[in-house]
Structure 1
Amino acid sequence: MSLKFRFALLQTSLLFLILLGVNFFIYYLFIENNSRNETQSIERKAAKLLLQENIIQHPEYWENPFLLKDFLVANELIRLIGPDSTVQKEIYTDETLLQRPAKYIPSTVPTSKLVSTDNGFCLYVQTPIIEDERQIATLEIARKLVILNDNVQVLFLALFYTTLGALVLSIIFGYIYSTLVFNPIHRLAQTMESIQKSGTFKRLEVKSSRSKDEIAQLGHTFNEMIGRLEQHFDQQKQFLADASHELRTPLTIIESYARLLQRWASNDPQLREEAIEAILSESVRLRELTKSLLTIADSDERQRVDWKEFDMRPLLQATAASIQLTFDREVKLQLPDNGSKMKMIGDPEKIKQLLIILLDNAVKYSQKPIQIHAQDEARSIRIAVIDEGIGIDKEDIPRLFDRFYRVDKARSRKNGGVGLGLAIAESIVKLHAGTLSVQSEIGEGTQVEIKLPKG
């Protein structure tokens, strides 16, 4: 059974239960209202018989029903019941009312009883007869409610066919509505199945008329998810292609020089020295490239981060001193003057790696001193690495963090870069829920600013 048919069936079942309750309420209210009116009419008749006609003191009324023609109408029964539940006097125009045995009911007020028989509803009303402040008998007037019985049949048929029509319409319109509701879900399932079989990314067509309902939101969310998966897939393909290209270059060089050594360099010291130097250089490059690839692979795994609270001030000082000593370049570090600790929660080793990447780029493309400006803000730590080097074209800035992207491939190869440093830096910043931005002008230098939250 399909989901839309079950939805229509459930909707019809709920409607049936609601209509059933409403019908019972209407039926009960109709019977109750009519029986109350009939009861009041009979009580008024009993009062006239006891007060005006004094039927108790005139036995001739019981012997000649014609004398009560104004009171005894069709389908009625009038009888006098003694304290021992015996019928002392009775007259009637409908024998079916005699089927209910006489029963004396002690009471000070009139009582009524609506009885359902095979011939319809009958109403029995008993009025106590009081003498010397005690009940000596009961006057019972019964009436077969012919009009009520006819109206009940009409009401029953009306309610039955109305309910039946409502249920049929509910099934039809419920199925149509459920079809409209579940069609987008069906298309979603078909699209997902198609993606699974073909391996290509597809999107749902979301109608503009349904731009604000939940189904449309589901479609938009699905399309956004597919877009992200497609982007991630394309990035992975590009990454594999770029990685293969980058790995193939040093391996080809190593293989070429190794063959050169094997064939010609054994007796030529100069050629042998050149081959060994090239092999060593490319081996080092290959090792650094492999290390960078492993770093990128690890950077997406949050569980490998050693989260702890640490002071950024000594980390900046130690990193700046290390770069200055390693490259013999001046690094100017500007820290807050108050001397307080710059505490934050994160992985100090990865933050140090981030700083080294930024400082290493600044050293490669600038001959002047490097500046580091650090600010301790209320909820974050802001660090800017500034150089006065060759700068970067504005068109290249948006792609700086793409893996293997290099502004000047020849110059980067000469300096040993593989285009992964800033990609690693960006992943570290994202891992710490921070932001990274670049501002640069050709010939004037570059400023890379990172903002890391403290908590």
Structure 2
Amino acid sequence: MNIKNRITLFSTIWLLLLVLAANGTIYVVFQKTMENEAVERAETQMDNMAEALHTADASMDMSRFLRAYLPADSMIRIISEDGKSLLDVARSREMTELPTVYREGEQSEMRRIEGELYTVAAHPVIWENGEVVSLQLTEKQGTMENTLRVLQVILAIATLMIVIPSFIGGRVLSNLIVNPIAAMIQTMEEIQKRGTFKRIAFEKKSNDELTKMAQTFNRMMDLLETNYKKQEQFVSDASHELKTPLTVVESYAKLLKRWGKEKPEVLEEAVEAIYSESVRMKEMAQQMLLLAEDESQFKIDCQKIDLVEVARESALNLERAFGRSIIVDAATNKVELHGDPQKIKQLLFILLDNAIKYSAAPVKITVASVEAEAQIAITDRGIGIPKDELDNVYNRFYRVDKSRTRGTGGTGLGLPLAKRIVDAHHGKIELVSKEGEGTTATVYLPLHLNH
């Protein structure tokens, strides 16, 4: 059974049970009230008759006397102790045919005799011969039964008038609840069949949970489509970037195979080119693997580190590797923060490597601490980056045409990886550049990293 039918069935049955319970209570209370009133009337009538009999003259026609107290559709009967009827006063012969039962003391009750409902009241009195007899009033309650039947019909009609609209309302409500879910299922099936990223159409004016669910689904589709496009672009860019070094390696390998043994200069050139391209491919592959990791895989080993010491160590290593001057300017001797020392070093290597590649002048590193934030700025006096290109430098494999040439060995993955490292440390990175004057990359890192 689907959810729509479950909602309709449950709401209808639940309301039906409530209505039946309410109607049953009404019916029982009304029936009991009518029976009590009928019994009380009979007792009052019996008390009046018994009192009148005590004061009645013995010579009085008792049948005529009792007929004056006889209600409609009823019978007054005098029964002796041996169960014989001494006197029957009734409106119809049918009443006199009812069974004769002697009752001791005062009694009153509602009884069903031969399928008919009667009120029976008994009162002991002294008869003409001095014998104690039972004075009984038996009244047929046909009106009460008719009234109860009418009440049954009214309650049944009221039940139908409540349950039927409730069933329709439950159906409408289930449609309102299930239709967005059905639309989502249909959309998912279309996505599965066609491989497209389709969104759910919904009423923007509404702000209920179903609308929020549709909005969340559409946002998820946007994210999946964006990631899918990024993945496609990444694969396309990676294949394009790897194609060139592989072609170079293949060309020099063919050259080695043909002339390497005969021409030492060709051998040296080919080996150097193959080695250079291999190093570049290795660096590119490592960066690509790091960038391919999602947030859960890109973990950082948080430790207490001295940013000034890390900056000086990184500067010294790159000075030796490139033979270039790197100046470290620290406002204090120590700037402590919580972070991953290896990834912070990798971040500095990326930024320093870019500064060295695109600038012939000495590179400057400035380290400072402002309130709860550490700042590290790497400044070069190189060719700079055009203003309209600054927003694109964090895209994978992106290189500014004038400066990021293959001659410098750049892959276009350094700054995206640097931003990934900064984001993992809950920081931010800013680039300020002017063509012909240089570039400053400033990194802002919180001193205390909260996970």
Per the TM superposition, whether the score is higher than 0.5 is yes
Query: CA separation of 1:118/1:11 partners in 2, compared to 1, >3 Å: closer, same or farther?
Result: farther
2:391 to 389, 398, 406: 398
Q: Deviations over 1:278-332 (max 9, x none)?
A: 22211211121122122223x4263573644423444445334444554433232
Q: Which residue of structure 2 lines up, in the alignment, with residue 428 of structure 1?
A: 421
Q: Which residue of structure 2 lines up, in the alignment, with residue 273 of structure 1?
A: 268
Matches within 5 A, 1:373-412: 373-375=367-369, 377-378=371-372, 381-389=373-381, 390-408=383-401, 411-412=404-405
2:152 to 153, 156, 166: 156
1:369 to 363, 366, 370: 363
Q: Which residue of structure 2 lines up, in the alignment, with residue 348 of structure 1?
A: 341
The answer to whether the 8 Å contact 1:358/1:448 transfers is: no
Query: CA separation of 1:315/1:388 partners in 2, compared to 1, >3 Å: closer, same or farther?
Result: closer
Q: CA deviation at 1:199?
A: 1.4
Q: CA deviation at 1:61?
A: 11
Q: CA deviation at 1:200?
A: 1.6
Q: Calculate the TM-score normalised by the size of structure 1.
A: 0.80
Identical columns (%): 34
Paired residue secondary structure (2:304): strand
Q: CA deviation at 1:391?
A: 3.5
Q: CA deviation at 1:220?
A: 1.0
The answer to whether the 8 Å contact 1:97/1:142 transfers is: no
Paired residue secondary structure (1:267): coil
Q: Which residue of structure 1 lines up, in the alignment, with residue 62 of structure 2?
A: 64
2-structure distance, mates of 1:85, 1:451:
113
Q: CA deviation at 1:398?
A: 2.7
Query: CA separation of 1:407/1:113 partners in 2, compared to 1, >3 Å: closer, same or farther?
Result: farther
Q: Deviations over 1:25-83 (max 9, x none)?
A: 22123223333433443344344335xx343565969983431334321244557899x
For the pair 1:359 / 2:352, whether they are aligned, the reply is yes
The aligned amino acid for 2:442 is: V
Paired residue secondary structure (2:366): strand
The answer to whether the 8 Å contact 1:412/1:418 transfers is: no
For the pair 1:219 / 2:217, whether they are aligned, the reply is no
Q: CA deviation at 1:265?
A: 4.8
Q: Which residue of structure 2 lines up, in the alignment, with residue 14 of structure 1?
A: 14
For the pair 1:305 / 2:299, whether they are aligned, the reply is yes
Q: Which residue of structure 1 lines up, in the alignment, with residue 27 of structure 2?
A: 27
Paired residue secondary structure (2:175): helix
2-structure distance, mates of 1:104, 1:325:
128
Q: Which residue of structure 2 lines up, in the alignment, with residue 181 of structure 1?
A: 177
For the pair 1:284 / 2:279, whether they are aligned, the reply is yes
2-structure distance, mates of 1:454, 1:290:
29
The aligned amino acid for 1:184 is: P
2-structure distance, mates of 1:382, 1:61:
127
1:169 to 130, 147, 165: 165
Q: Calculate the TM-score normalised by the size of structure 2.
A: 0.81
1-structure distance, mates of 2:57, 2:312:
127
1-structure distance, mates of 2:96, 2:246:
114
The answer to whether the 8 Å contact 2:4/2:174 transfers is: yes
Q: Which residue of structure 2 lines up, in the alignment, with residue 144 of structure 1?
A: 140
The answer to whether the 8 Å contact 2:34/2:144 transfers is: yes
2-structure distance, mates of 1:61, 1:316:
137
Matches within 5 A, 1:119-134: 119=115, 121-124=117-120
1:331 to 317, 324, 327: 327
Query: CA separation of 1:352/1:161 partners in 2, compared to 1, >3 Å: closer, same or farther?
Result: same
The aligned amino acid for 1:12 is: T
For the pair 1:446 / 2:449, whether they are aligned, the reply is no
Paired residue secondary structure (2:200): coil
Q: Deviations over 1:349-406 (max 9, x none)?
A: 223322332333333334343233342644xx43332414344334323322221112
Paired residue secondary structure (1:310): strand
1:258 to 253, 262, 268: 253
Q: Deviations over 1:236-271 (max 9, x none)?
A: 111111111111110101111221222245433333
1-structure distance, mates of 2:303, 2:60:
109
The aligned amino acid for 1:430 is: D
Q: Deviations over 1:159-217 (max 9, x none)?
A: 223323443333344334423432222121111111112212111112234x3122221
The answer to whether the 8 Å contact 1:302/1:431 transfers is: no
2-structure distance, mates of 1:173, 1:245:
61
User: Unpaired runs of 5+ in structure 1?
Assistant: 130-135
For the pair 1:206 / 2:186, whether they are aligned, the reply is no
The aligned amino acid for 2:65 is: L
Query: CA separation of 1:368/1:180 partners in 2, compared to 1, >3 Å: closer, same or farther?
Result: same
Which stretch has the larger CA shift, 273-282 or 424-433? 424-433
1-structure distance, mates of 2:362, 2:424:
32
Paired residue secondary structure (1:242): helix
Paired residue secondary structure (2:386): coil
Paired residue secondary structure (2:325): coil
The answer to whether the 8 Å contact 1:342/1:376 transfers is: no
Which stretch has the larger CA shift, 361-370 or 25-34? 361-370
Q: Which residue of structure 1 lines up, in the alignment, with residue 189 of structure 2?
A: 193
The aligned amino acid for 2:33 is: N
User: Unpaired runs of 5+ in structure 2?
Assistant: 126-131
Paired residue secondary structure (1:396): helix
Paired residue secondary structure (2:443): strand
Q: CA deviation at 1:103?
A: 5.7
2-structure distance, mates of 1:127, 1:322:
123
Q: Which residue of structure 1 lines up, in the alignment, with residue 129 of structure 2?
A: none
